[in-house]
Amino acid sequence: MTVEQVKKTEEESKKLIARNEEVFAKDTKLAVAKTIRGHRAVFGETYPDPVRVVSIGIPVDKLEADPNNPAGTKTSIEFCGGT
């Protein structure tokens, strides 16, 4: 990443943190989780089925019901392979 990209990422991260939104987590079928718009996963990582989906501000049930909702691109939605 360039210095400018790092700064922009920091700014966006701070904005997300300042919103202080609820964090949701749910085990979801991997095939369904992969369809959620805006989800983030690590390339090359193997995720279990079901996979734990962690979302800030949007309940995972809502994401499952409408996986193409563009709201997912405005928050953090991550696959969790384990703690």
Q: For 42-72, what is each residue's pLDDT tens digit? A: 877 888 899 999 999 999 999 999 999 898 8
Task: Note the pTM of the prediction, 2 decimals.
Answer: 0.79
In the sheet where 77-80 sits, what is the strand order?
23-28, 51-56, 77-80
In the chain, domain spans: 21-80
Tokens describing residue 67: 């996986």
Q: Per-residue pLDDT tens for 10-35?
A: 998 898 889 999 999 999 999 999 99
Please count the residues of the chain.
83
pLDDT score at 7: 97
Q: Residue 83: pLDDT band by 50, 70, 90 thresholds?
A: low
Query: By C-alpha distance, which of 36, 74, 66 is closest to 53?
Result: 36
